[in-house]
Chains A and B, each alone.
Chain A
Amino acid sequence: MVCIVPLMSIGHALLGLLEGGPRHGYDLKRAYDERFGQDRPLHYGQVYSTLSRLLKNGLVTEAGVEAGDGPERKRYAITDAGVTDVERWLSTPEKPEPYLQNTLYAKVVLALLSGRSAVEVLDTQRSAHLGTMRELTRRKADGDLADQLICDFALFHLEADLRWLELTAARVDQLAVEVKR
Chain B
Amino acid sequence: MTLLRAEGLVKSFGKTHALDGAGITIRAGEVVAVMGPSGSGKSTLLHCLAGILPPDSGTVHYRDRELTSMNDGDRSELRRTEFGFVFQFGQLVPELTCLENVALPLRLSGMKRKDAERAANEWLARLEVDGVADQRPGETSGGQGQRVAVARALVTGPKVIFADEPTGALDSLNGERVMHLLTTAARETGAAVVLVTHEPRVAAYSDREVVVRDGRSRDVEFAR
Do A and B touch (CB < 8 Å)?
A: yes
Given A127-B209, A166-B37, A170-B37, the answer on whether A133 and B222 have CB atoms closer than 8 Å is: no
A12 to B35, CA, bound (A): 30
> Nearest chain A CB to B115's CB is how many angstroms away?
32
Check: B218 CB closer than 8 A to any chain A CB.
yes
Chain A residues near B224 (CB-CB < 8 A): 131
Within 8 Å by CB of A133, from B198, B200, B218, B220, lies B200
> Nearest chain A CB to B76's CB is how many angstroms away?
35
Residue of chain B at shortest CB distance from A134: B204
Given A123-B211, A134-B206, A141-B180, the answer on whether A129 and B218 have CB atoms closer than 8 Å is: no
> Nearest chain A CB to B204's CB is how many angstroms away?
4
A119 to B224, CA, bound (A): 22
Residue of chain B at shortest CB distance from A165: B200
Please state if A158 and B209 are interface contacts (CB–CB under 8 Å).
no
Please state if B204 and A155 are interface contacts (CB–CB under 8 Å).
yes
Check: B99 CB closer than 8 A to any chain A CB.
no
Check: B205 CB closer than 8 A to any chain A CB.
yes
Please state if B204 and A133 are interface contacts (CB–CB under 8 Å).
yes
Please state if A155 and B201 are interface contacts (CB–CB under 8 Å).
yes
Please state if B220 and A127 are interface contacts (CB–CB under 8 Å).
yes
Residue of chain A at shortest CB distance from B207: A134
Please state if B37 and A159 are interface contacts (CB–CB under 8 Å).
no
> Nearest chain B CB to A160's CB is how many angstroms away?
9
Check: B98 CB closer than 8 A to any chain A CB.
no
Check: B203 CB closer than 8 A to any chain A CB.
yes
Check: A176 CB closer than 8 A to any chain B CB.
no
Within 8 Å by CB of B200, from A119, A158, A169, A170, lies A158
> Nearest chain A CB to B37's CB is how many angstroms away?
6
Check: A162 CB closer than 8 A to any chain B CB.
yes
Q: Which of A112-149 contact B (CB under 8 A)?
A: 119, 123, 126-131, 133-134, 136-137, 141
Given A155-B204, A158-B200, the answer on whether A130 and B37 have CB atoms closer than 8 Å is: no
Residue of chain A at shortest CB distance from B221: A127
Question: Besides the contacts A134-B206, A159-B201, what 20 more A-B pairs have beta carbons closer than 8 Å?
Answer: A123-B220, A130-B33, A130-B203, A130-B204, A130-B206, A130-B209, A130-B222, A133-B203, A133-B204, A134-B204, A134-B207, A137-B204, A137-B205, A141-B180, A141-B184, A155-B201, A166-B198, A169-B37, A169-B213, A170-B37
30 A–B pairs (Cβ distance < 8 Å), ordered by A? A123-B218, A126-B211, A127-B220, A127-B222, A128-B222, A129-B200, A130-B33, A130-B200, A130-B203, A130-B204, A130-B222, A131-B222, A131-B224, A133-B200, A133-B203, A134-B204, A134-B205, A134-B206, A136-B204, A137-B201, A141-B180, A141-B184, A159-B199, A159-B200, A159-B201, A162-B200, A163-B200, A166-B37, A169-B37, A169-B213
